[in-house]
Amino acid sequence: MQDIAEQLAAWHRAGRPFAVATVVSVSGSAPRDPGAALAVDADGEAVGSVSGGCVEGAVYELCQEALASGEPVLQTFGYSDEDAFAVGLTCGGIIDIFVQPVVPGASEGMDAGIAYVQSGTPVALVRCISGPAGLLGRTLAVTGDAHHGALDAGELAGGPELEIAAVVHARAMLDAGRTGRLTLALDGRPCDPNASDAAVFFVESYVPAPRMIVFGAIDFAGAVAKIGKFLGYDVTVCDARPVFATERRFPEADRVVVDWPHRYLEAEAEAGRLDSRTALCVLTHDAKFDVPLLERALRMPLGFVGAMGSRRTHGDRLERLREIGLTEVELNRLRSPIGLDLGARTPEETAVAVAAEIVAHRRGGSCLPLSAHDGPIHHDLRSAKLAEPRRIA
């Protein structure tokens, strides 16, 4: 929902009812991850996507039906071998989609959730997608220190234990940046989804965009900053030379900073503005900038640290870093020369190579052409990354 939050907030402010269709479960080779959303307002305007085109028409109709009936619905879509033109996912996957009508002012949890997501405030949006009568569609908005909305639905609500448990579990998922299903019994205990008193919730965790810091205000930095924004990063360009580090030269960056790279990195770490998702692209290939910066960066639990330079520059850089005490384990975290071997020449081609390595590192890709193997197309490291993204201070 995050990618359509601005439009949803605009509809909400205008008091316009709408329906949100959200991918809540994926099996097989589905094109969108859980949390992808399509929304339709009362005038028929649509924003977002749940399948990249496969089932958009059918989901659009479900949204209109939900707006008319006021009732939420959970629907499964999958591939049909009998009729290739039937509504389904031609890629062979199966997705569950939860369609929920939203009337501004009718749900404290949804109202608060939309406001938090649109403002960039970390929040877990908790919606009951399956369960006893009265709970379906109930919504909580859970932040680090508060929650909005209620699960009280009369006799079948199970009392405050269910709400307390849902908030506790959702807050833990928010801390870890996780999105997924949560199944609880009406007394708040985790239980099997097939239990008679099971309530299944979909928890969407919204956290600020990961950061990309590009060190070195050179011509390649503009292209890397641009593709970083395209990938959804919050991008900073930093250089100690004010004549090069200007907003005019880097219009795609969220901010341009004039400072020594190592000093800026230390300040951001002390302020708690770096975490385990942060990507560093060191493009200066100048030892007086690179070595002090990398000495600090390689000792921080950052998501990606890459540096530009020739193989000779890289070898010299490693020797300097060894001399000041970095271990081989720390040095092995350095991706240098940065980027995949695409034969890139131009700044734009180089930026694609850098971005490709960052994506592969983040998602666990092999960096081989898909045609060169018969393994999975979509790698999934979520099950191996359940720890909270660590803030660096």
What SS3 state is found at 353?
A: helix
**Is the pLDDT assigned to residue 196 strictly greater than 60?**
yes
Highest mean pLDDT (candidates 9-18, 25-34, 75-84): 9-18
Measured N-to-C along each axis, helices 347-363 and 219-230 cross at an angle, to the nearest 10 degrees, of 40
| Average pLDDT over every residue of 280-292 | 93
State if pTM tops 0.85.
no
- Helix axis angle for 261-270 and 287-297, nearest 10°, is 20
List the structure tokens of 134.
Answer: 């009265």
Of 161 and 391, the one with more pLDDT? 161
Burial profile 193-232: b = 16 or more Cβ within 10 angstroms, e = fewer? eeeeebbbbbbbbbbeebbbbbbbbbebbbbbbbbbbebe
Domain boundaries, the chain: 1-106, 107-207, 211-392
Which superfamily, per CATH, for 211-392? NAD(P)-binding Rossmann-like Domain (3.40.50.720)
Cα separation, 24 vs 46, in Å, equals 19
In this prediction, residues 62-73 reach a mean pLDDT of: 95
The amino acid at residue 197 is: D
Residue reference for tokens 């800026």: 264
Q: Are 153 and 138 in contact (CB under 8 A)?
A: yes
Q: What one-character DSSP code corresponds to residue 190?
A: B
**What does 226-288 look like in DSSP terms, one character per residue?**
HHHHHTT-EEEEEES-TTT--TTT-TTSSEEEES-HHHHHHHHHHTT-EETT-EEEE----HH
The answer, yes or no, to whether residue 61 has pLDDT greater than 50, is yes
Q: Show Cβ contacts of residue 66 under 8 Å, excluding neighbours closer than 6 positions.
A: 19, 72, 73, 99, 100, 101
Q: How far apart are CA 109 and CA 169, in angstroms?
A: 16
Query: Mean pLDDT throughout 131-150?
Result: 90
Measure the CA–CA gap between 282 and 213, rounded to whole angstroms. 8
- The 10s digit of each residue's pLDDT in 217-231 is 999 999 999 999 999
Which of 82-91, 131-140, 278-287, 289-298 bottoms out in mean pLDDT, i.e. has the lowest?
A: 82-91
The whole-number pLDDT of residue 90 equals 54
155 has a pLDDT exceeding 70: no
* 3-state secondary structure (DSSP) of residue 180: strand
